[in-house]
Chain A
Amino acid sequence: EVVLTQSPATLSLSPGERATLSCRASQSISIYVAWYQQKPGQSPRLLIYDASNRATGIPARFSGSGSGTDFTLTISSLEPEDFAVYYCQQRSDRLTFGGGTKVEI
């Protein structure tokens, strides 16, 4: 089973700052990583798939990068609505999610 480790667990930032979230896989998973955003009481929302492709309607301030075992989600300039929990997911092996990173003010 591929284990996804997200870091940091919590990221404390201010609006306008840059957020860099990490997702590390226990073995190589090529580019098969997706990123989701979840706000309290809401369902997850797809942001990025195949490491770097933005989903439909996702603002350009969200970008993804990486391959192999190390992946990054970057939010170039945080908007108030971006404070949420972010999960990575892989499909190289059986589907698994990372433990999440909470981006808080």
Chain B
Amino acid sequence: QLQLQESGPGLVKPSETLSLICTVAGDSISSTSYYWGWIRQPPGRGLEWIGSIYFTGSTYHNPSLKSRVTMSVDTSKNHFSLKLTSVTAADTAVYYCARVWRHCSIGGCYPFDYWGQGTLVTVSS
């Protein structure tokens, strides 16, 4: 059974960098069939796609966040990571990682069929 688990600090100071890792168990992150994605959800609000990455390092980004987002893959550890720079209170959210099918258009791939449980990241001094 595929499992994804987000890990990282739950509290980040304004202007600093948010860093999260998603560890994948039960499937190889090097699978040619899938991308791996990040989605966030501010408390009490809807879902926002952040970006997706293939095991080769190929990426799709949400243009609204692209300048602050870096994603990477570590196939030896079967995990992928997210860095979001210059965070503000508006970046406070539950951050999810997910597996993404390679059904892709110019803007990205979908759907997201397996999700991690999510991790709450609060931006506050």
Contacts and interface: CB of A to CB of B under 8 A. Distances in A.
Contacts of A32: 103, 105, 110
A91 B47 contact: no
Interface string B99-125: 001011111111111011110000000
B27 to A, nearest CB: 14
B32 interface: no
Given A89-B111, A91-B105, A98 B118 contact: no
Contacts of A55: 111, 113
Interface residues of A, number: 23
A95 B46 contact: no
B62 interface: yes
A58 B99 CA distance: 18
B95 to A, nearest CB: 11
Given A94-B62, A95-B62, A46 B113 contact: yes
Interface string B42-64: 00001111001000000010110
Contacts of A91: 103-105, 107-111
A46 B47 CA distance: 13
B49 A96 contact: yes
Nearest to A90: B110
B106 to A, nearest CB: 8
A89 B63 CA distance: 16
Given A43-B118, A87-B46, A94 B63 contact: yes
A99 B44 CA distance: 11
Contacts of A95: 49, 52, 60, 62, 107-110
19 contacts: A32-B110, A43-B115, A45-B115, A46-B112, A46-B113, A49-B101, A50-B103, A55-B113, A89-B47, A91-B104, A91-B108, A91-B110, A93-B107, A95-B62, A95-B108, A95-B110, A96-B49, A97-B48, A98-B46
Interface of A: 32, 34, 36, 43-46, 49-50, 55-56, 87, 89, 91-100
